[in-house]
Chain A
Amino acid sequence: MLTLLIPLIAAALLAAIPNYRLSANLNVLASLLSFLSAIVLLFSRPPDNQYLLIDDLNIVFILLNTFIGFTTSVFSASYIAHELETGRLTPRYLRFYHAMFQLMLLGMNLALLANNIGLMWVAVELATLTTVVMVGIYRTHEAIEAAWKYFILGSVGIALALFGTILVYLAARPVVGEGMDAMVWTSLLAHARAFDPALLNIAFVFLLLGYGTKVGLAPMHAWLPDAHAEGPTPISAVLSGLLLNVALYALLRFKLLLAANPGAIAPGPLMIGLGLLSLIFAGFMLYRRRDIKRMFAYSSIEHMGIIVFAFGMAGPLGNFAGLLQMTMHSLTKSAIFFSVGHVAQVKGTQRIAEMGGLTETHPVLGWSLVASVLAIAGLPPFGVFTSEFLVVSSSFAREPLLAVLVVFGLLVSFGALLWRVTGVAFGEPRGPTGPVKASYLPIFAHLSLVLIAGIWLPGPLVAWFQHVAAMLG
C-alpha cells in the first residue's frame, strides 16, 4: 500500500514546492522510496482485498515500473536543468511537471495493483490524463497537436475498454452474483469457467481494441509516435518503458479470464495477428523516420508487437519469452531515450539529418547510444537477443510460418536501426558540439542489467519467470 501512498504524498508536496532543484531531488527520493517499497512487497505480501491484489504476475510489473520510474527521475533531474537554461520550460511548469510525474507513477502502480476491473480502469485513465498533460507541456504547435491526438485516441480507447469492462461484469453477474465481487479479479478468475462464453468473447474484443490502443498495437498506434516525439524525453522513456506495459498487463489479465473459460474463443490468434501486424508495419515505418525520437517510438511499436505475439503464442516458453522481452525492452528503450534526450539537447534538434559523428565529439554519450541501439536491435550479447531468440525458437517449434514472419520483421527493423544509428554516431561531426551535462548513471544501470541478462540469467529470476509463465497458461 506504501507503493501507492508515496507517489500520492509526493505529488501533493511537489505541487507546493516552488524551488525546482529541491523538487527534482524530492522527485528522485520519492521514486526511490516507491521502488524500495516495491521490493518490500516482494518479500512480505499483504493479503488481497476487494481493491488491491499482489500476486506473482503483477509483482514483476510493479518492480519494473518502480525501478524505471526511479531511474527516469534521476535522468529527468539533469534533463530539466538544461530545459530551464534554454528556457523551454519555466519553473512554474516544472512544479506542475514534477507533481504530474508522481501522479502518473501513482496511476500506473494503482493499475498494476488493482484487484478490481473498475479500479484498474480508473487508474489507467489517470495515467493517461497525466501523460497527456506532460506530452503537451512544451506548448509548441507540435506538442499540442501530439497531446490532442493522444488524448482523443486514448479517450476512445479508454471508453471502449470501459464498455468491455461492463460486459465482463454482465457475464460475471449471473455466476458470481450482484455487487463488488463480480468486478474482483480473484473471484472473477475463480468463477470464469461458468461465465457465458459469447458475452466474454465480445467483451474481449472491446478490451483488446481499448487497451490495445494504449499498448500501441498497429491499427490503433497513431498517437504513439507523436506523443513520444513531442513530449519531454523523460516522458518518452516512461511512455515506452512503462505505460505500454501497464496496458499490456490489463490485456494479459483479461486473457487469463478467457483462457479459464472453455467455451470462449482463444485470445491467442487475435493477439498473434495484431502483434505480427505491428511488428512488420513498424519495421517498414522505421526507414522513413527523420526525427530520432519518432524513430524509436516506432521501434517501441515493433517491440510491443513482438511481446504481444509472444503472449499470444502462449505456452510456458512463449509466455516466458514475452515476459523477458518486455523486461528487456523496457530497460533498453528507456536507456535509449535517456541518451537520445541528451543528444537532442546538445544538438538542439531531433532531426537525424542534423546529427553526426557523435562518437567523436561525445564519446561516452555516442557509444552508449550505439550500445543501446545494438541492444534494442537484438544483437548478442544483450538481453534482447536472448528474449527474441526465445520468441523465434519457441514459435518455430510450433508454427514455423509465423516464426518466419517474425524473423522477417526483426530483420527489417534491424536494418533500419543500424542504418540510422551509423549516421548519427559515426562520420563527420554535424551540428553543435557543445559540452554535455549528462547523467550517465541511469543509462549505464539499464544497459548493464540488459547486458548481464544477455550473458547470464540468474537462476532465481528464471525460476520466477517460469512460474509466472506457467500461471499465464
Chain B
Amino acid sequence: MPHLDFDVAHTLAGLLVLVSFMMLYQDRLYALLRVLALHAFVLACAVAWQARIQDAPGLYVTAAIALGFKAILVPWALHRIVVRLGIHREIETVVGIGVTMLAGMFLVALSLEVMLPVTAHANPVAREDIALALSVVLIGLLIMVTRRNAVSQVVGFLSLENGVDLAAAGAQGMPLVVELSVAFSVLIAFIVIGIFLFRIRERFDTVDLQALDRFRGERR
C-alpha cells in the first residue's frame, strides 16, 4: 500500500513541523519542556514508520533512542535542572510571539520552495521528508535566536537536531544513521550535563545569556 505508506510518513513529518510551531508560542518553561517531549515522541513515531516502510531495522534503534532518550530522559533532566536552579519559569523572548510565528511560516514556505524543486527526481517520501525536516531545522534556529534564556535555547537546539534526525531517517538506505544518532545523543548529553555542572560549581547566578554578555563587558 504505497499510498498509505506515503500518507502516514507525510502526516508524521507534518506533525513534527506543527509541534515546532507549538514551541514558538510557549512562554512557560515547563510547558515548553512538555512540548519538547511531544516533539521527540512524534519524531520517534516518524522514524519508526520510516523503518517499517524502508524495511530498515537499524532505524528502529534510532526511533528507540528518540523515544527513550529524547522524549523521556532529556525533558525530565531539563525539568529537574529548572527546578533545582530556580530558573525563571517565564521565557523572555526577543521579539513578540506574533512576529515569531509569521517568521516561522515564512521559513516553512522557504524550505518547501527550496527543497521541493531540487528533489523533483527523488522518491516522493524522501522528498517531502527532507523539505519538512528543513522546516523543523530552520524553526529550531528561529527558537534559538528569539529566546534569551539558555534552557530554552537548548530546547531550540534539540528541536533542530530532531529535524536533522528526520532528514537522516528519510534519506532512504542511508548508512551510519544509527551511529550518527548515537553521536548526536552524546552531544545532547554533554549539553544537559553542561548546564547541570554549571549549577554544581555555583559559578553562575543566572543562565540568562544576556547576563553573561554583560558580565564580560564589565571585565573590559
Query: What does DSSP make chain A's interface, helix, strand, loop or mixed?
Result: helix
- Say what secondary structure dominates the interface of chain B: helix
List the B side residues contacting A202 at CB < 8 Å. Answer: 114-115, 118
> At the interface, yes or no: A290 with Cβ under 8 Å from chain B?
yes
Q: CB of A119 within 8 A of chain B?
A: yes
Q: Which of A172-180, A308-316, A319-327, A461-469 contacts B (4 or more CB under 8 A)?
A: A172-180
Which residue of B118, B179, B187, B215 contacts A141 across the interface (Cβ within 8 Å)? B215
- Do the beta carbons of A132 and B173 come within 8 Å of each other? no
Instruction: Contact check, A152 vs B164: say whether CB atoms are below 8 A apart.
Output: no
Smallest CB gap from A162: residue in B: B164
Q: Tell whether A174 pairs with B118 under 8 Å between CB atoms, given A145-B216, A151-B194, A169-B174.
A: no
5 A-B pairs with the lowest CB-CB distances in the bound complex, closest first: A178-B173, A198-B118, A118-B176, A180-B175, A122-B183
Q: Does A144 contact B (CB under 8 A)?
A: yes
Interface residues on A, range: 35 or more
B176 to A119, Cβ gap below 8 A? yes
Q: 17 extra interchain contacts, Cβ-Cβ under 8 A, other than A149-B212, A166-B174, A170-B130? A: A129-B187, A132-B190, A141-B215, A152-B144, A156-B144, A159-B137, A163-B137, A166-B130, A166-B164, A167-B130, A170-B126, A173-B171, A173-B173, A174-B122, A179-B175, A198-B117, A199-B119
- Considering the complex, give the chain A residue whose CB is closest to the CB of B205: A141
| CB <8 Å contact, B212 and A148 | yes
Given contacts A169-B174, A170-B126, A202-B115, contact A142 B219 (CB under 8 A): yes
A19 within 8 A of B: no
Give, as a whole number of angstroms, the nearest-CB distance from B213 to chain A.
8
| B204–A155 CB distance below 8 A | no
Instruction: Please report the C-alpha to C-alpha distance between residue A56 and residue B176 in the assembled complex, in whole angstroms.
Output: 26
**Is A290's CB under 8 angstroms from B167's CB?**
no
- Contacts A132-B190, A139-B203, A144-B204; is A183 near B180 (CB within 8 Å)? no
Asked if residues B176 and A173 are in contact (CB atoms below 8 Å), the reply is no
User: Could you jot down 21 A-B contacts, CB within 8 Å?
Assistant: A122-B179, A122-B183, A125-B184, A139-B201, A144-B198, A145-B212, A145-B215, A145-B216, A149-B212, A151-B190, A152-B153, A156-B157, A159-B137, A159-B161, A167-B130, A173-B173, A178-B173, A179-B173, A180-B175, A182-B175, A183-B174
Chain A positions 129 through 142: 1 when the CB is less than 8 Å from some CB of chain B, otherwise 0:
10010000001111
Chain B residues 156 to 176 lying within 8 A of chain A, measured CB to CB, are: 157, 160-161, 163-164, 167-168, 171-176
Query: With a CB–CB cut-off of 8 A, which chain A residues contact B115?
Result: 202
CA–CA, A145 to B171, complex, Å? 37
B186 interface hit (Cβ, 8 Å): yes
Closest to A163 in B: B164
A121–B164 alpha-carbon span in the complex (Å): 13
Closest CB-CB distance, B136 to chain A, in whole Å? 10
- A169 CA to B119 CA, complexed, in Å: 12
